[in-house]
Structure 1
């Protein structure tokens, strides 16, 4: 899985949608590229959170006092061992928050909230919006809203980290209510190369 070494310092955010095309979420310090975050988030939704996006957003966004340092393999709890092994290369590390931060004046650290009006100024290269129908991936190399990765996408999909594979779109997708079967199609942002190869560390 998980993200090559040069992704470790890539900042990102995880958010929930707000009115219109807005969003509000929380800062994630490390490993913010799609090839790292998307497999973790998809597997977490499908297994740990039992396909409950609200419970997932509560855990990842609402319950965090300051921000995330990194997302760990505890998000893969209840996933099949073969999937966990494929995504992690056999390594395990915990999710860590930024509650330990020390401010210059000794005051408690402030919650690191990210919204659609502050993300660009905060220098966030990537954002992940947890919609009822999937994860919207925002590359700050582009303006506007991003493509959607459906929640039933295979976490083993080799997602690209190149912003060109995550173009802006003009309108955010609305939830789909019809359960009519549709022909399968490649996941948004899937890399055109072969299978995933890199372990995290």
Structure 2
């Protein structure tokens, strides 16, 4: 029987000392997480980073098991289908934690001091989302919020270190056909000067 391993990550907001956020158990790779978060920011949260942070960080009691396609509410159907292959699956909170003494589980808060042992971090900035490859570094690259969610992002830790180019393949931009240069209109026959014959 094959073991299924989690790609453990967190979603956080900036603080005075670094960041603070919440644990997410499954599917933390940039190739899956970034398109979902970019599309959620652009459509469901209409560019409101604080509303997005409240939903993803503040409103979850313990942490997330996984983030789902409900984050794509409001996105165009073509984009939604492109990102999900037409599948819908809900975000799920961590609700299967059992404590030794039977007490309610504690919130799985993640900060810059407690992120060791996780795979990826996603910190919400006003201008973009910082992707931190935790096995490699404590800081990462910032992906602008306007980045096309259809981009293909690398899952290689070393490519997300600060100072690297964005490890993504962006989809081609939709372009308008080149306009044909305007030609001067021919004058109506009645108004054309008579051709002169030079001998």
The two structures have a TM-score, normalised by structure 1, of: 0.79
Please tell me whether residue 111 in structure 1 is matched to residue 89 in structure 2. Answer: no
Find the residue that maps to 2:113 and give its secondary structure. Answer: coil
TM superposition shift of 1:164: 1.7
Q: Which position in structure 2 is the counterpart of 1:74?
A: 70
Q: Which position in structure 1 is the counterpart of 2:51?
A: 55
Q: Which has the higher relative contact order, 1 or 2, with Cα contacts under 8 A spaced 6 or more apart?
A: 1
Q: CA RMSD in A?
A: 2.1
Of 8, 12, 15, which residue of structure 2 is paired with 1:11? Answer: 8
Asked whether the equivalents of residues 47 and 77 of structure 1 are also in contact (C-alpha less than 8 Å), the reply is: yes
Please tell me whether residue 64 in structure 1 is matched to residue 42 in structure 2. Answer: no
Deviation readout 1:162-184 (Å, 9 max, x if unpaired): 11210135xxxxxxxxxxxxxxx
Please tell me whether residue 95 in structure 1 is matched to residue 91 in structure 2. Answer: yes
Q: Which position in structure 1 is the counterpart of 2:155?
A: 161
Higher-Rg structure is 2
Find the residue that maps to 2:38 and give its secondary structure. Answer: helix
Find the residue that maps to 1:43 and give its secondary structure. Answer: helix
Q: Which position in structure 1 is the counterpart of 2:29?
A: 33
137-146 or 40-49: bigger deviation: 137-146
Find the residue that maps to 2:168 and give its secondary structure. Answer: coil
Find the residue that maps to 1:26 and give its secondary structure. Answer: strand
Number of equivalences: 169
TM superposition shift of 1:8: 6.2
TM superposition shift of 1:99: 3.1
Deviation readout 1:60-95 (Å, 9 max, x if unpaired): 001111000000000000100000000001111000
Asked whether the equivalents of residues 128 and 135 of structure 1 are also in contact (C-alpha less than 8 Å), the reply is: yes
Find the residue that maps to 1:106 and give its secondary structure. Answer: coil
Asked whether the equivalents of residues 7 and 32 of structure 1 are also in contact (C-alpha less than 8 Å), the reply is: no
Find the residue that maps to 1:30 and give its secondary structure. Answer: coil
Asked whether the equivalents of residues 12 and 28 of structure 1 are also in contact (C-alpha less than 8 Å), the reply is: yes
Task: Give the Cα–Cα distance (whole angstroms) in 1 for the partners of residues 96 and 134 of structure 2.
Answer: 28
Q: For structure 1, list consecutive stretches of 5 or more residues without a partner in the other structure.
A: 1-5, 170-185, 196-201
